Each structure stands twice: as C-alpha cells, then as structure tokens.
Amino acid sequence: MAYKPKVGAVMAAPNVIPMADIMLVLLIIMMVITPMLNNHQLVDMAKAKNWENMPAAERDDAVVVAVTRDGRFYLGNNEIALNTITSTVEDKISNKLDKTVYVRADENAKYGDVKKVVDAVRDAGVDNVGLLTLKDESGAPAPPPTPGGTP
C-alpha cells in the first residue's frame, strides 16, 4: 500500500488578512493625497507681473476668503455671507500667531465685492491682508496708461 498523507479539514472561511492589508494601504494613500487637493473655490485669479509668492496661503491652517465672479463669498470651502465674515475671521485668527488673511478673488469679480471683503477682514482686526494673484508669464508688455486716466 502506498503512503497517503493526511489532509487537514477544508477551511470554508475566506482569508481576509490580505484584503485588510490592501484596504489599509489604500486608506493611507487617500489620507496622504486628500490634503494635497486644491481645497479652494475655483476662481480665475488675475495675473500680475509684480506678484509676490505667498506659500503660507497654501498651508492647511491658512485663512483664505474667496470672491467669485458672481458675487459669492467662501471661507475655505464653505460659502459664507458677507455680514458673517468679520466674526468668523475673528474666531479663526484668535489663537494664531500669524494673523494674515488671504483674499483669492476672481479676475472678473466686481471691485466692490472685493473691497467689501477686505473691509470685513480689516474690521476683524487683521492688519495683513494678502491679495493672491498668479504670475503673468505671457511676456507681453503692459499697455501704457492713457492720458487723463481714462481708457
């Protein structure tokens, strides 16, 4: 008679440990990538030749107020009413050492809307307001000013 090894009982339960490992890796990847996503409202910012790089505006704890072309206001990703900007900004900067607030305005936003936001931020006690722009890399010279200041 030939030797026949004994086989253990068949296991009917699936082995979920490799699946749990894969899910943990996917979770870690999502946790790393999510903060890198642009968390600001989409605005077509104006381009300026004399711009200043403001890397602090990209930090997670930066206070950024956005003004869209249709006159809506956002603090981070949350839409906010103009009359609540002052109190909300006061709350956000109360415990911070750097009390700079950044304004990200659409290129086609009304000047009056941007002015209202800047005034509301200043009313919150903020002395440093950063106006975010993009670098103008077109290379085209700026048009000369017209005499009398009218186009």
- pLDDT, tens only, 61-112: 888 899 999 989 998 888 899 999 999 999 988 888 888 999 998 999 999 9
Residue 63 CA: distances (Å) to CA of 21, 31, 72, 91, 146: 37, 22, 17, 11, 37
Domain count, the chain: 1
Q: What range does the domain containing 131 cover?
A: 47-135
Whether 140 maps to a domain, the answer reads: no
Instruction: Give the pLDDT confidence of 113-136 residue by residue, as tens digits.
Output: 999 999 999 999 888 898 888 888
User: pTM for this structure?
Assistant: 0.64
The pLDDT of 33-60, averaged and rounded, is 77
Assigned domain for 125 exists: yes
Give domain status of residue 148, yes or no.
Answer: no
The residues, ordered by sequence, that sit 6+ positions from 47 with a Cβ below 8 Å of its Cβ are 107, 133, 134, 135, 136, 137, 138
Residue 142 has pLDDT above 60, yes or no: no
In a domain, residue 22? The reply is no
